[in-house]
C-alpha cells in the first residue's frame, strides 16, 4: 500500500511539474514584461459610445442614476466601464491560460459572506460578468482599481505602486502554494475570518478583522427591518424610496416579470434547498438599485415569510451577456443567469444556498440569491495607510485561490514564476492604464457638461457604495 501511495504521489508531482514547465514555456511566446504595455493606440472603441451602448438594454429611467454614481471619481467611473476595460485588456498580452474569471474584478467586489456552515468567508462577491477566460482580465483590472483608489487617497507614485505590487505579490505567492495542492484540496480551500485573524501581521490588523467578522454576523435579514422594510396593517412591506428602492405597480409588467422568475427559479435548486425554500411564502417584491455598474439592470428584492413569522430576503438580478464574451467566447451556458450561478459556484470557496436562476416570458434572464446573509464589503473610501495594504494582500490571496480552484494553478504559477518580474510588469500597466482611466473620466465629465450623458446625483455615501464597514 505504501508503494502504491508513493507511486501515486510521484505521478501527481510529475503532472504538476509538467504543467509548470508548460507555463514557463509560454514566456517565449508571451514574455512577462509584455504585460506592462498599454498605449491609447491599442484601443478599438470610444469609451463614451461604448458606455451609451451598454445602457440601451437597461431601464432607461435609471440611467441618470448610474451615470451619477460613476461621476464621483476615476475609480467610480472605472466600476461602470467594465466593457471598455475588457476590450482594452484583450488588446494587450494574453497567455490564454483559462480560469473562471470574475470579469469585473475590482476591489469593491471583494467582501465577506456566510458559508452554508455559518462561517464568515472572505472572497470575490460579484460574478455578474463571470466567464471562462484568460486570467489577465481579472488581475489587471484588480491592480488598476488599487492604483486608482490609492491616488484618490493622496498616495504618491511610489506608494501607489507599492499597493498594487502588494496585491500582485500576494496573488503570485499564494498561487505557488495552491499549485502544490491537489484539485480536491484547492476545491476545499477557503479564506475564513478565523484564518484572517490568525494570520494578521500585527495587533491593529487582528482587531480590525475581529470587528469585521462581528459586523458581518450582524448583517442578516432581520437587520433589514427599519432599513428596507416597514410595517403596514400588520404586514412588513418594502419602503418606497425611489429611485433606489421603489414599490412596483401591482400586476404591472415589471412586477409580473420578477414574480414569474421567482416562481420558476426553485426548479434550479437542489431538492433539499427547494424544500427549505418551500417553508417560506413570497410576501412582497420591490425594485432595488444596487452598485454602480449594475444600475439600470432589472433588480428586485423579494420578502419571504415563514408560517412562524421568520423572514428571508432574496435578490433577483438580471443577467446579460458578459463583457468578456466578445474576447473569450460565449461560454457553455446560453442562459445568462445560469452562467452567473455556475461561474460563481466554480470560482467561490462556497456559495449561497439559495443561488439559482430563471427567466420570464419576455426574454429577461435572472439569477437569485440572498440579499443579506452576513454579506459585508469594505468601506474602501476610508481605507488609508496599512489598512489599504492589508486589504490589497487579502484580495490578491482570494483571487489566487479562485483561479487555482477553477483553472490550472500549476501552469499559471509556472508562467508567473518566482521572481517579481510579472508583479512589476502589471504594476507598470496599472499605472499607465490608471492614467487612461483618468483621461476617460474627464471625457465622461465633458459629455455630462455637454448634455450627452444625463446625470442624477445622490448623497455621496449612497452614490459611491451601499456596502460598508471596513476590514
Cα 236 to Cα 16: distance, rounded to the nearest angstrom: 56
Cα 315 to the center of its chain, rounded Å: 16
322, containing H or E segment: none
Quote the distance between the C-alpha of residue 275 and its chain's center: 29
What CA–CA distance (Å, rounded) separates 81 from 445?
14
From first to last of its 471 residues, the chain has per-residue pLDDT tens of 455 566 556 666 788 899 999 999 999 999 999 999 999 999 988 999 999 999 999 999 999 999 999 999 999 999 999 999 999 999 999 999 999 999 999 999 998 888 878 888 999 999 999 999 999 999 999 999 999 999 999 999 999 999 999 999 999 999 999 999 999 999 999 998 888 888 888 888 888 888 878 887 877 767 777 788 988 888 889 999 999 999 999 889 999 999 999 999 999 999 999 999 999 999 999 999 988 989 999 999 999 999 999 999 999 999 999 999 999 999 999 999 999 999 999 999 998 999 999 999 999 999 999 987 667 777 777 888 888 999 999 999 999 999 999 999 999 999 999 999 999 999 999 999 999 999 999 999 999 999 999 999 885 433 333 333 334
Crossing angle of helices 421-449/47-54, nearest 10°?
Answer: 80
In the 8-state DSSP scheme, what is residue 192?
A: B
C-alpha distances in Å from residue 180, one per residue of 102, 166, 171, 412, 460: 23, 22, 15, 12, 45
Q: What pLDDT score does 407 carry?
A: 95
Cα–Cα distance, 410 to 263 (Å, whole number): 43
Show me where the domains of the chain are located: 16-218+376-464, 223-370
CB atoms within 10 A of CB 31: 13
Q: What is the pLDDT of residues 293-333, one digit of tens each?
A: 899 999 999 999 999 999 999 999 999 999 999 999 999 99
Identify the three-state secondary structure at position 101: strand
Name the grid cell of 205. Answer: 490588523
pTM summary value: 0.92
pLDDT tens sequence across 90-142: 999 999 999 999 999 999 999 888 887 888 899 999 999 999 999 999 999 99
The beta-strand segments (E) located in 207-251 are 229-232, 235-238, 245-247
Long-range contact pairs involving 431-434 (C-beta distance under 8 Å, separation at least 24): 431/147, 431/157, 431/160, 431/161, 431/164, 432/36, 432/38, 432/39, 433/38, 433/85, 433/88, 433/140, 433/144, 434/74, 434/144, 434/147, 434/148, 434/151
Alpha-carbon gap, residue 112 to 124, rounded angstroms: 8
Radius of gyration of the chain (CA): 22
d(CA 244, CA 62): 9
Amino acid at each position: 500500500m505504501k508503494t502504491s501511495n508513493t507511486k501515486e504521489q510521484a505521478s501527481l508531482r510529475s503532472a504538476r511539474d509538467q504543467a509548470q514547465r508548460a507555463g514557463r514555456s509560454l514566456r517565449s511566446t508571451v514574455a512577462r514584461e509584455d504585460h506592462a504595455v498599454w498605449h491609447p493606440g491599442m484601443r478599438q472603441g470610444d469609451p463614451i459610445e461604448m458606455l451609451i451602448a451598454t445602457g440601451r438594454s437597461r431601464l432607461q429611467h435609471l440611467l441618470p442614476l448610474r451615470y451619477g454614481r460613476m461621476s464621483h471619481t476615476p475609480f467610480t467611473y472605472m466600476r461602470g466601464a467594465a466593457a471598455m476595460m475588457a476590450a482594452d485588456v484583450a488588446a494587450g498580452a494574453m497567455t490564454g491560460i483559462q480560469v473562471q474569471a470574475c470579469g469585473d474584478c475590482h476591489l469593491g467586489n471583494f467582501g465577506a459572506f456566510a458559508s452554508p456552515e455559518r462561517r464568515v468567508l472572505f472572497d470575490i462577491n460579484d460574478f455578474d460578468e463571470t466567464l471562462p477566460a484568460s486570467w489577465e482580465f481579472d488581475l489587471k483590472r484588480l491592480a488598476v482599481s488599487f492604483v486608482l483608489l490609492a491616488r484618490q487617497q493622496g498616495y504618491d507614485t511610489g506608494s501607489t505602486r507599492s499597493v498594487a505590487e502588494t496585491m500582485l505579490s500576494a496573488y503570485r505567492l499564494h498561487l505557488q502554494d495552491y499549485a502544490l495542492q491537489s484539485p480536491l484540496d484547492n476545491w476545499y480551500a477557503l479564506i475564513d475570518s478565523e484564518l484572517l485573524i490568525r494570520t494578521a501581521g500585527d495587533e491593529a490588523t487582528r482587531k480590525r478583522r475581529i470587528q469585521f467578522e462581528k459586523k458581518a454576523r450582524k448583517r442578516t435579514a432581520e437587520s433589514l427591518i427599519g432599513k428596507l422594510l416597514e410595517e403596514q396593517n400588520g404586514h412588513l412591506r418594502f419602503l418606497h424610496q425611489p429611485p433606489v428602492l421603489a414599490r412596483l405597480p401591482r400586476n404591472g409588467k415589471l412586477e409580473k416579470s420578477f414574480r414569474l422568475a421567482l416562481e420558476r427559479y426553485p426548479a434550479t435548486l437542489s431538492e433539499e434547498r427547494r424544500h427549505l425554500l418551500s417553508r417560506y411564502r413570497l410576501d412582497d417584491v420591490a425594485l432595488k438599485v444596487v452598485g454602480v455598474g449594475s444600475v439600470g439592470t432589472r433588480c428586485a428584492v423579494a420578502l419571504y415569510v415563514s408560517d412562524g413569522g421568520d423572514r428571508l430576503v432574496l435578490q433577483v438580478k438580471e443577467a446579460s451577456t458578459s463583457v468578456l464574451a466578445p474576447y473569450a467566447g460565449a461560454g457553455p451556458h446560453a442562459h445568462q443567469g445560469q452562467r452567473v450561478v455556475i461561474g460563481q459556484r466554480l470560482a467561490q470557496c462556497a456559495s449561497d444556498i439559495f443561488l439559482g436562476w430563471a427567466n420570464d416570458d419576455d426574454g429577461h434572464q435572472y439569477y437569485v440569491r440572498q440579499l443579506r446573509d452576513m454579506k459585508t464589503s469594505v468601506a474602501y473610501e476610508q481605507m488609508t495607510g496599512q489598512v489599504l495594504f492589508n486589504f490589497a494582500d487579502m484580495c490578491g490571496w482570494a483571487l489566487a485561490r479562485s483561479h487555482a480552484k477553477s483553472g490550472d494553478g500549476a501552469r499559471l504559477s509556472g508562467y508567473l514564476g518566482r521572481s517579481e518580474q510579472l508583479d512589476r510588469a502589471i504594476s507598470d500597466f496599472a499605472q499607465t492604464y490608471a492614467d487612461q482611466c483618468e483621461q476617460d473620466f474627464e471625457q465622461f465629465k465633458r459629455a455630462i457638461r455637454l448634455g450627452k450623458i444625463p446625470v442624477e446625483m445622490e448623497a455621496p455615501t449612497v452614490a459611491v457604495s451601499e456596502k460598508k464597514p471596513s476590514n
